[in-house]
Structure 1
Amino acid sequence: MKQPIIFCDFDGTITEKDNIISLMEQFAPPEFEEIKEDILSQKISIREGVGKMFALLPSSLKKEITDYAIKNAKIRPGFQEFVSYTRNRGIPLYIVSGGIDFFIHPVLEEFGPFAGLYCNGSDFSGENIEITWPNSCDSQCKNDCGCCKPSIMRRNTDTNSFKIVIGDSVTDLEAAKQADLVLARAYLKEKSQELNLPYQPFETFYDVLSVFENMEEVMK
């Protein structure tokens, strides 16, 4: 039997809303909207787009931005139970996010530790916020992902792995294409249908737990 390994998105998946967009709506000038649309239409890469959006924000707002992000990051129901389920069954759970360290680490602190937590970094030393990219694409990916989820999957799996991706957005699409099973909502659900990927829909992590429990029955 193959070993299930989970790669779970953060923004809009673990949390109910996309935290980057929430931050932009609260603090950024209106031109962030055009950048957002360019990312969603894949006119520009995720790395370029996210970098451009955060460059609109002054570093002097670090405390306000951080406090706002942490306060407004509402966790999707059932996530704590899902983490406990994976821990009790020895299923590796990796958090892979195109979000930023300054809000992801404090929000997830009470739920960890995880098998791994991968996200983008941040530098507040200049006039405006600069995003850093510690998890860039490997030689097999040419999508300029920023936090490259397929590259992270390749590093942490082998031929004995059953790869499960949980996500909601364009940042999860390339990872979903590599997965044995996709748990999808919103944009990722639509693209999974369109591309005929092996997926199950979800809205809460109780739905995700049901999928896993059904898999256990099938594998018995």
Structure 2
Amino acid sequence: MKQPIIFCDFDGTITETDNIISLMKKFAPSEWLEVKDQILSQDISIQEGVGRLFGLLSSNLKEDLIGFLKETVMIREGFSKFVQYTRDEEIPLYIVSGGIDFFVYPLLEGLIEREYIYCNGSNFSLETIQILWPNECDENCSNGCGCCKPSIMNKLAGPDEHIIVIGDSITDFQAAKMAHTVFARDFLIEKMDELEKPYHSFETFYDVIETLKQKKSEVDV
């Protein structure tokens, strides 16, 4: 197998739940539900949808939002061991997240260095929260991804690398199309089935480690 490189989602993948959805359920007015449905049905782009969702929240809520997630978020079982496995095997691991910097960075503190994290930004200086897009789609993508995982992968992965994508939702769909190996759960499984593209399902990162070990042993034989 070519040299592996891993691109792993954050919300609902590294964490047990989708943090944006958790924040909306707790803090947003009921209008957020319609926006969420429009994102999932692909009636609006992820970028437009996420911007509209956070536009429903007052900037004064910043500390409440961070505090709520720090108290409630659960990191998926086996993730720290998975990070150590990638280091031991010298496999590059990048976190590519449609989440927002104000909660992604604190929740990954001590696990992943910031230079390996790609996510959306935020501005709390206005009346409502403004989302910033430092990783927008390049000229090869017109999906309005917000944090464009295919564009990031094009920049970081070389032609001789075996691309591994780990994800759970619509935000991982375009990235999964480019991958050589996909680990999927939840909504991404439905999309992969629609594409009739092979994938490995997983519940914990121990599952991911075991599959990677198996693939490596098959190559080494």
TM range (shorter): over 0.9
Look up the equivalent residue of 1:85 and give its one-letter code. Y
Look up the equivalent residue of 1:160 and give its one-letter code. D
CA distance in structure 2 between the partners assigned to 1:186 and 1:119 by the alignment: 21
Give the match's secondary structure for 1:111. Answer: coil
Q: How does 1:25-40 map to 2 (within 5 A)?
A: 25-40=25-40
Aligned to 1:72: 72
Look up the equivalent residue of 2:194 and give its one-letter code. E
Give the match's secondary structure for 1:47. Answer: helix
Aligned to 2:100: 100
Give the match's secondary structure for 2:140. Answer: coil
Aligned to 1:6: 6
Divergent runs of 4+, >4 A: none
Gaps of 5+ in 2: none
Percent of residue pairs identical: 57
Aligned to 1:23: 23
Aligned to 1:197: 197
Look up the equivalent residue of 2:31 and give its one-letter code. E
Question: Is residue 7–residue 95 contact of structure 2 (8 Å, CA) maintained in 1?
Answer: yes
Q: How does 1:74-153 map to 2 (within 5 A)?
A: 74-113=74-113, 116-153=116-153
Cα offset, 1:114, TM superposition? 6.7
The alignment of Structure 1 onto Structure 2 pairs a total of residues equal to: 220
Question: Is residue 105–residue 114 contact of structure 2 (8 Å, CA) maintained in 1?
Answer: no
Cα offset, 1:190, TM superposition? 1.6
What TM-score does the superposition give when structure 1 sets the normalisation length?
A: 0.98
Look up the equivalent residue of 1:40 and give its one-letter code. L
Give the match's secondary structure for 1:87. Answer: helix
Cα offset, 1:191, TM superposition? 1.2
Cα offset, 1:134, TM superposition? 0.2
Q: 1:93 to 1:130 in 2, by over 3 A?
A: same
Look up the equivalent residue of 1:52 and give its one-letter code. R
CA distance in structure 2 between the partners assigned to 1:133 and 1:69 by the alignment: 22
Look up the equivalent residue of 2:67 and give its one-letter code. D
Look up the equivalent residue of 2:111 and give its one-letter code. F
Query: Which one is further off, 69-78 or 45-54?
Result: 69-78
Q: 1:170 to 1:36 in 2, by over 3 A?
A: same
CA distance in structure 2 between the partners assigned to 1:52 and 1:43 by the alignment: 14
Deviations 1:97-143 (A, max 9, x none): 00000011011011122762100001000000000000000000000
Gaps of 5+ in 1: none
Look up the equivalent residue of 2:160 and give its one-letter code. N
Aligned to 1:172: 172
CA distance in structure 2 between the partners assigned to 1:159 and 1:59 by the alignment: 43
What TM-score does the superposition give when structure 2 sets the normalisation length?
A: 0.97
Cα offset, 1:61, TM superposition? 1.0
Question: Is residue 95–residue 114 contact of structure 1 (8 Å, CA) maintained in 2?
Answer: no
